[in-house]
Structure 1
Amino acid sequence: MSQKDLAAYLGKSIAWCERARWEGNGPVFVKLGRNVRYRAADVLAWIEANARTSTTEEVRH
């Protein structure tokens, strides 16, 4: 999926996606030339890795 697709799927802005990518905090991505793409399996794995049961819980790894 494109960065725009990812932003819509996660309910985030495109700027958030770019910042998360630059900081290494977002889903794994693939560079195809100048294009950034996200695989659905990587996005789902990133969501699962960030699952929490409370707002004070540390991220599970």
Structure 2
Amino acid sequence: MIRNLWGPAEVADYLGVPVGTIYQWRTRGYGPLGRRVGKHVRYKPTDVEAWFESQAEGVV
């Protein structure tokens, strides 16, 4: 069973970044994998969590 999909605002809230950052990442090919659903971008929570876990630990 698939959990509810997230929009950019939910992803930003989860990651603690501004919504604009999510849009910038998407245009630069960075960040979690998002999929277009009509004119909207939606994210699977498991993809966002996996992307986060794949990032280097610690602060650079």
Over the residues paired in the alignment, what is the CA RMSD in angstroms? 1.3
Larger RCO (CA under 8 A, 6+ residues apart): 2
Following TM superposition, where does structure 1 have runs of at least 4 consecutive aligned residues deviating by more than 2 angstroms?
A: none
Q: Which structure has the larger Rg over C-alpha atoms?
A: 1
- TM alignment of 1:1-61, pairs within 5 A: 1-53=6-58, 55=60
Gaps in structure 2 of 5+ consecutive residues = 1-5
Q: Taking every aligned residue pair, what percent have the same amino acid on both sides?
A: 33
**3-state SS of paired residue (1:31):** strand
Aligned positions, number: 55
